Chain A
Amino acid sequence: MLGYIAVCDIYGNVDRVMGSIPSELAVRVENVGQLFKQTEQQSALLEKSDGRVVSVSVCAEYAGREGQRNAYAAAKNVGDRILFLLCDIEENEQLTRLMELYLSAAAQIHADKGKPSDYDQLQKINNQLINYQRGLARANERLKQLLEETREAKSTIDVLGRDPLTNLLTQTAFFENAKKLLREKPEQDFDIVAVDIERFKIVNDAFGAPQGDELLVRMAHFLQSVPAEGEALFARARADKFYAMVRRSEEFYGILRKKMALFEETYPLPMRLQIKIGVYAVEDREMEIVRMCDRAVLAADSIKGIYDREMAFYDDSLREKMMREQKIIDTMEESLQQGNFQVFLQPKVEIGTGKLIGAEALVRWDHPEYGMISPADFIPLFEKNDFIYNLDRFMWDKTCQIIEMWKNKFGSFVPISVNVSRKDLYHGDLPDVLTKLTANYHLNPSDLHLEITESAYVADSHQLLAVIGQLKQIGFVIEMDDFGKGYSSLNTLSELPIDILKLDMEFLKPGKNIMRRREIMRLVIDLATRLKLQVIAEGVETEEQRDLLKGMGCKYAQGYLYGKPMHREAFLRYLTGIYA
């Protein structure tokens, strides 16, 4: 029998033998044409490839013992290939074998149809996944290494770091070196010193950045020139803040004070320099250096704005003060909402008769945790963080309420003065706010006196002039508060449209040059009178002071002698006593 199933191209070249009987056909036949005795038959069959079964003469080589035979062949196009079949059986029993051959071929074709081993495919995919994971892990570690190298490089730069302007250490380098110094010299006591140039921004603003830089450079030289025993570290922490770490020594601070005073006085700048120094004595060496520096800064900050204090030493009370101040700030808004701020009133009287001529509205804070807090503790804070405007508006509103109520009750009433902070003056809507307020409560603007502290005038007289001018025009009465505490010039006094001068009795407190100060006070009262300004002496506590003021020609006073600041209910009773 003959049985041959193969896949070939259009020329008969065999790609694959699916089965052959005898088996040597699979080996020997390279082109199906070899099987044909007549090549025309092969050509015809392959060209048509329509699956029709035809009879062909088999080549003698493969014909078997007979040497010549006919067989049946068919060719069918399958894609770009041809499926070729050739068979012939001599007896029916061979049919079984032939059918087996065909079934085997069919099974192969079925198995081959786009089905490579599933497991091989899975393994390929798995390999790829592992390779991707490997690639990602590699990239990830490379990235981590790069980041670490960058961090180390940055750290190295920081450790060696010098401020490019002053060549002092950078803050980071200072912290590292200070920590190292403490570790290396356990037997030695050290102090951390914080140095701050007050209002440095004005130097930059008024004289330009080069002047500002020059000041910083000279400051750096100055600090390094102060002789310090043993190791010392100096850093420019930021902007105009300097740190130093020095061996503890009283002598050092004595020299520092003297040299600092000379530096301030002789520095060639058309403004007075004010440098503040805070010192923290290192006790707990395990504390972070940054915290030590913060404490030194706290000490420096505690004397900010205080003219005659150039150096302060940290103690725990400062920290407690800081914590308390933070608490105040944390609770101020809530307190305002909840009505913990109250209006207290202190009477202003005519000295000779004791007649009530007015009152000053003063704020008191009944803090839910700390109880009554003095305005000296929270007003400066509120002025720093601008909450003062909110508080002042509250006070103005409450005061107007009181005036309206008492006007309605008593038919007429004395004016009440309210404090207007320097910060309030920078609010462009201030005149509108005050005008609307008085209108809401059916008051005249002159019912609400505005007390503006003397220091506000000094700060920015042009701005102040404009706003006060507006307020005066509207009809408000302007009082200059705390006259004598600051350094207002004669020019300021002549230019500002004030109506009332409030003199602080601090000026007459016993001390140096008291007689001189009394004469000056007398002159000021006289000057004010000539300028038709009302003068009220503030802080009158004793009869002796009263008599002194009377002798100077001062007609009006405010102080404990005439009444402490009292709650509105108490003031009402006070008033009832008067108006009864």
Chain B
Amino acid sequence: MSLLQLDNDPQLQGIANEIFRQLFQQMPQLDEPAKRNIRQAIACNLGDICAALELEDNKLFTYSTGWFYRLLCPRMPSRTTEAIKDLILKGYDMFGAYAGKRIGPGKQKQLQERMRSAVAAAGREHENSSCASNDTEDSYGKEIQELLDCLLSSQIRDAIFLVSEYRKRGIPLEDIYVDITAGSMRRVGDMWHQYAISEAQEHYCTATAQLALAQFYPVIFRQERKRRKVLVACVGSELHEMGARMVADLFEYDGWDSIYLGAEVPIDSILSEAKRSGPDLLALSVTLPQHLLDCREAVRQARRRFPDMRLAVGGNAFSHTDDIWEEWEVDVYTKDARDLVKWADKAMG
């Protein structure tokens, strides 16, 4: 079975529009940007559960549902959680009817059960968990908060200065990247999700964080070369390329030469570049779960064409799956760029 991607499937688009229409009826106060935002979220969610179904990954299915549910809750303050769950289920019913045609009647019932239990689980999780996720687990909690304060108050210069100060304080560059900056970006993402900041603010914070890291480029590219090469790309129509760029940057800092292709890279382009440059390692990054299917395909083709090339995958999307990479022909999955560099140095000397 291959469920079509949202972008290519008009029926799926139709479902998304209908879900939105019904939701909008419940939220007449929304302005155009907010409506657009929610429409995108709906499309994203449908894309995620399509991927979850295709990959047969229950954990991803549950996560996607929970994500959507948690997105709607703060945006529909006048609705009860039960009403929100009903709305989602209605939308999922429409989706179920569509998907059922493709997965067969036997699996359709299974799908519907899965959808119901996912919605119920999302509700329970939302009621039980606190909103501040993983704050206490961050090893540079103070620095993350400092940086976040600068980002949220639109103080670009302060943010840039602060990040350079971290280095002067002796914090390793890898920790500045992976723990502090990525940590603050996760919190920004959470805040947008929780409707605490607008889309504009979220983009502004991202842009400022990228600018702050860019000041390290002279240091990053000045390191002694190891004569190793890594090819890094974001698979699918990703706008969230900061994670992939961090991978490329930290490899450069470790003395590798990086070929960084950026975001929205077609699989053909990745393979063509791999053939041209012959990297020691191909690293693919996926942030949104809906792009995991593209990543799987990219891995499959890369492995077939370059059987000896090392392949690595990573990104936020994988962390919400049941270790889906284990079924793929990759050499490694790491949770962050720092771990990948360490693995690469160990594996390849």
Contact = CB atoms under 8 A, between A and B. Distances in A.
| A and B physically associate | yes
A17 interface: yes
B157 interface: no
Contact of A117 (B40, B94, B98, B263): B40
B252 interface: yes
Contacts of B252: 138
A30 B11 contact: yes
B211 to A, nearest CB: 7
Contacts of B239: 120, 123-124, 127
B50 to A, nearest CB: 15
Classify the secondary structure of B's interface with A.
helix
A14 B17 CA distance: 14
A138 B94 contact: no
Contacts of A17: 10-11, 13-14, 17-18
B94 A15 contact: no
B207 A137 contact: no
Interface size range on B against A: 35 or more
A177 to B, nearest CB: 30
A137 B21 contact: no
A23 B11 contact: no
Interface string B188-217: 000000000001100100110011001001
Contact of B98 (A27, A120, A123, A134): A27
B218 interface: yes
B93 to A, nearest CB: 10
Contacts of B35: 111
A138 B221 contact: yes
Contacts of A26: 11, 14-15, 17-18, 94
A19 interface: yes
A142 B222 CA distance: 8
A142 to B, nearest CB: 7
Interface string A91-123: 000000000000010001001000001011011
A119 B10 contact: no
B40 A16 contact: no
Nearest to B211: A130
A117 B202 CA distance: 13
A141 interface: yes
B315 to A, nearest CB: 16
Interface in A113-155: 117, 119-120, 122-124, 126-128, 130-131, 133-134, 137-138, 140-142, 144-145
A127 B263 contact: yes
A119 B203 contact: yes
B262 interface: yes
Contacts of A144: 222
Contacts of B262: 127-128, 131
B21 A19 contact: yes
A417 interface: no
A554 interface: no
Nearest to A137: B217
Nearest to B206: A123
Contacts of B200: 119
A30 B13 CA distance: 12
A119 B34 CA distance: 12
B326 interface: no
B36 A117 contact: yes
A123 B207 contact: yes
A26 B93 CA distance: 13
A24 interface: yes
A134 B97 contact: no
A15 B218 contact: no
Contacts of A19: 17-18, 21
Contacts of B199: 117, 119
Interface string A19-32: 11001101110100
Interface in B211-265: 211, 214, 217-218, 220-222, 239, 241, 245, 248-249, 252, 260, 262-263
A235 interface: no
Nearest to A128: B262
A16 B10 contact: yes
A14 B10 contact: yes
B161 interface: no
Contacts of A20: 14, 18
Interface string A142-179: 10110000000000000000000000000000000000
B218 A23 contact: no
B245 to A, nearest CB: 7
Given A17-B10, A117-B36, A141-B221, A127 B214 contact: no
B40 A23 contact: no
A549 interface: no
B36 A137 contact: no
B32 interface: yes
B24 interface: yes
Contacts of A14: 10-11, 14
Nearest to A142: B221
A30 B262 CA distance: 37
A6 B217 CA distance: 50
A133 B217 contact: yes
A28 B199 CA distance: 34
B97 A27 contact: yes
Contacts of A298: none
Contacts of A16: 10, 13-14, 17
A127 B214 CA distance: 11
Contacts of A108: 17
A82 interface: no
Contacts of B207: 122-123, 126
Contacts of B218: 137, 140-141
A137 B210 contact: no
Contact of B21 (A15, A104, A141): A104
Contacts of B21: 19, 104
A138 B11 CA distance: 46
A18 B17 contact: yes
B231 to A, nearest CB: 15
Contacts of A123: 203, 206-207, 239
Contact of B10 (A15, A104, A117, A133): A15
A385 B94 CA distance: 101
Given A16-B10, A19-B21, A130-B245, A138 B217 contact: yes
Contacts of B98: 27
B214 A130 contact: yes
A10 to B, nearest CB: 15
B283 to A, nearest CB: 16
A134 B249 CA distance: 9
Contact of A134 (B10, B14, B214): B214
Interface string B4-37: 0000001101110110011010000000100110
Contacts of B10: 14-17
Interface string B37-60: 000100000000000000000000
Nearest to A120: B239
Contacts of A119: 199-200, 203
Given A14-B11, A131-B245, 10 more contacts: A20-B18, A26-B17, A27-B15, A30-B11, A120-B239, A124-B239, A130-B214, A130-B245, A133-B217, A134-B214
Interface of B: 10-11, 13-15, 17-18, 21-22, 24, 32, 35-36, 40, 94, 97-98, 199-200, 203, 206-207, 210-211, 214, 217-218, 220-222, 239, 241, 245, 248-249, 252, 260, 262-263
Task: Give me the 8 closest cross-chain CB pairs, A-B, nearest first.
Answer: A17-B14, A137-B217, A141-B221, A26-B14, A126-B207, A119-B203, A15-B10, A130-B210
15 contacts: A16-B10, A18-B17, A19-B18, A19-B21, A20-B18, A26-B11, A124-B239, A127-B262, A130-B211, A130-B214, A134-B248, A137-B214, A137-B220, A140-B221, A141-B221
